[in-house]
Amino acid sequence: MKKEKEKVICGIQQVGIGVEDLMTSWKWYNRHLNIEIKVVDDEGVAELMLPYTGGKPQPRHAILAISQRGGGGLEIWQPKGRKVVFPKEPLRLGDYGINICKIKARDINEAYNYFTDNEIAILSDISVSPFGVEHFYIKDPWNNIFEIEKDDYCFINANRVTGGSNGVVIGVSNMEKSIEFYSKLLDYDIVAFDKTDVFDDLGDIPGGKCKIRRVELKRSKPVCGPLSDLMGNSHLELVQNLEIEAHKTLEGRWWGDPGFIHLCFDIRNMDKVREAAKALGHDFVCDSGDNFDMGDANGHFTYVEDPDGTLIEFVETFKIPIIKKLGISIKLKKRNDYKPLPKFMTKLLRFMKTEVD
């Protein structure tokens, strides 16, 4: 008997970052975070995000890139034809939305030395997090905060200090509601840590000296799906700041304005994801339909809001271009929902590596 299709959350595909100058930001993330395999480079119009772009389509230029060492990528997104709006006040830990992007590092001391030598703003010394992981925090030139975490996962054994995204830190207003959302819809169903305190390792982050409820969520299910070897494991950190009047990170601004704009998951069987989202009261707020082209890639994307309005994207990928000039691509639509692609196929992505000046 043929097995009925089910929702499959394969892993974190990418974290979206709104920027003012795409090429400047792309060069920085490529050079310093090793996000160097350019999967998509597309200039067009965002026609489907109307609730978040002032009610009308907005031109934009986006680059989606990943790391050879594996992990989630970054989608660097520049609105075009309008002046971007920066936050009125700096983000504080616990503001509603994505506060921090986690980045994998093979050797935490080597990573710390690299960022020091390259005069990148470091927000903390190396320490062991309450989750038992060596880590430290940095800030990019546009005030986005990244947490560098010790993580041995490696997709392609490239000589790189860091890999891709290992998760995110999300500010929430009601911890119980958020735990339910992320555990039931996104499958981060293990509460690995839950404590309220003033945490030493957060002290140099804006808002980090406050009393904070801090929760780490992990998955009980192993990652699976055609691209799962590329993405690897991840974890989510939810923070509820008990001492500030928190605000939404995009308050008074549009999606695509500077800062972290969404968290994207690679999935299989979009209809089943929709059923699960509706059952939780979080139906899709945007839906591309199942034949959406972004550059030479093709798939189906949708969005939901978490309980505080943070945008979560789902992408069911059907085609990834590999060597455009030769018309070579990886086609995923008919692939097994659970089995990773053979490594020789996914490792073809290294041919899309882009060097920057």
| pLDDT band at residue 136 under the 50/70/90 scheme | very high
In whole angstroms, give the CA distance from residue 357 to residue 342. Answer: 33
What residue segments make up the domains of the chain, in order of their start? 8-352
| pLDDT band at residue 118 under the 50/70/90 scheme | very high
Strand 286-287 relative to strand 97-105, pairing: unpaired
pLDDT tens, residue by residue, 61-84: 999 999 999 999 999 999 998 999
User: What percentage of residues in the chain have a pLDDT greater than 70?
Assistant: 97
Q: Kindly report the average pLDDT of the chain as a whole number.
A: 93
In whole angstroms, give the CA distance from residue 257 to residue 58. Answer: 12
**Residues 227, 222, 283, CA angle at the centre, nearest 5°?**
75
Q: Cα(first)–Cα(last) distance of the chain, in Å?
A: 55
In whole angstroms, give the CA distance from residue 20 to residue 8. Answer: 34
pLDDT tens, residue by residue, 212-268: 999 999 999 989 999 999 999 999 999 999 999 999 999 999 999 999 999 999 999
Instruction: Give the pLDDT confidence score for residue 326 in this predicted structure.
Output: 55
Question: How many C-beta neighbours within 10 Å does residue 315 have?
Answer: 23
User: Mean pLDDT over residues 196-202, rounded?
Assistant: 97
Residue 302 has pLDDT above 80, yes or no: yes
Note whether 287 and 135 are within 8 A (CB). Answer: no
Indicate the fold that domain 8-352 takes in CATH. 2,3-Dihydroxybiphenyl 1,2-Dioxygenase; domain 1 (3.10.180)
Residues in the chain, total:
357
CA neighbours closer than 13 Å in the CB half-sphere of residue 76: 25
In whole angstroms, give the CA distance from residue 348 to residue 323. Answer: 9
| pLDDT band at residue 325 under the 50/70/90 scheme | low
